[in-house]
């Protein structure tokens, strides 16, 4: 019986061109020059890793936001794999908080940031979404990957918040604890998902220098 897992290489996009400490969310922020170079390097590293493991990347699935799609396109080119982009992998929707700093949010909605941090699963910014809603779209992607690519390897390129929820969902981790999962720019996570639904998380935040992930990534 074939019990080969679905191998998922889960990556975060690289550095964007903009100030730190801003809730970019679903804004289509461009990569910085360093972010473009880092994306090329991440694409090279994940393809080399797949080659070493002996299972080539058969498909690349990406957020449709440009900062993720740039890296996904480079991976697809190197791996000669089909590329699929989807809004289901977009970063968390922060609604009216999108594009604002922590200070600006606190001034406009006093005490609401603390409320959100105390209840990440249920609290949604005005016009945005909570993490239970994010988990629903992540679960939809995982179910599709399992149905289409079991026994193969795929690369998934997304965002810090999405990746944390992705890993937490597979590991059965409470969404309130997702900040235990660091996701630096250009990092690689490796997950094996078996046909019976059992996941084995083999690598988290691989290849990411400490300190390159700033907090409002979710």
Among all residues, which ones are annotated catalytic?
13, 91
Q: How far is Cα 64 from Cα 75, in angstroms, rounded to an integer? A: 15
| 128 in Cβ contact with 49 (< 8 Å) | no
Q: Where in 64-119 does DSSP place strands (E)?
A: 82-86
Q: How far is Cα 75 from Cα 155, in angstroms, rounded to an integer? A: 8
What separation, in Å, do the N-terminal and C-terminal C-alpha atoms of the chain show? 41
Within 13 Å, how many C-alpha atoms sit on residue 192's CB side?
A: 10
Q: What is the DSSP string of 175-214?
A: GGGGGGS---TT-EEEEEE-TTS-EEEEEEEETPPTT---
Q: Which two tokens stand for residue 202?
A: 């083999």
Cβ-based burial of 25 (10 A; exposed 0-12, middle 13-18, buried ≥19): buried
Q: How far is Cα 206 from Cα 12, in angstroms, rounded to an integer? A: 11
């Amino acid at each position: 019986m074939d019990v080969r897992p679905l191998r998922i290489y889960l990556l975060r996009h690289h550095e964007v061109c903009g100030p730190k400490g801003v809730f970019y969310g679903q804004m289509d922020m461009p990569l910085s020059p360093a972010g473009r170079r880092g994306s090329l390097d991440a694409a090279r590293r994940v393809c080399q890793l797949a080659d070493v493991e002996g299972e080539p990347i058969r498909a690349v699935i990406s957020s449709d936001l440009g900062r993720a799609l740039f890296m996904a396109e480079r991976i697809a080119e190197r791996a000669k794999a089909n590329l699929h982009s989807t809004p289901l992998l977009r970063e968390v929707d922060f609604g009216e908080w999108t594009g604002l700093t922590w200070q600006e949010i606190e001034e406009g909605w006093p005490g609401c940031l603390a409320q959100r941090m105390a209840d990440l699963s249920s609290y949604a910014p005005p016009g945005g979404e909570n993490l239970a809603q994010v988990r629903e779209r992540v679960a939809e992607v995982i179910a599709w990957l399992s149905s289409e690519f079991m026994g193969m390897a795929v690369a998934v390129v997304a965002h810090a918040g999405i990746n944390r929820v992705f890993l937490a969902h597979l590991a059965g981790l409470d969404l309130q604890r997702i900040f235990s999962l660091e996701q630096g720019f250009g990092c690689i996570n490796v997950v094996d998902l078996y046909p019976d639904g059992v996941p084995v998380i083999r690598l988290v935040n691989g290849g990411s220098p400490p300190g390159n992930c700033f907090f409002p990534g979710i």
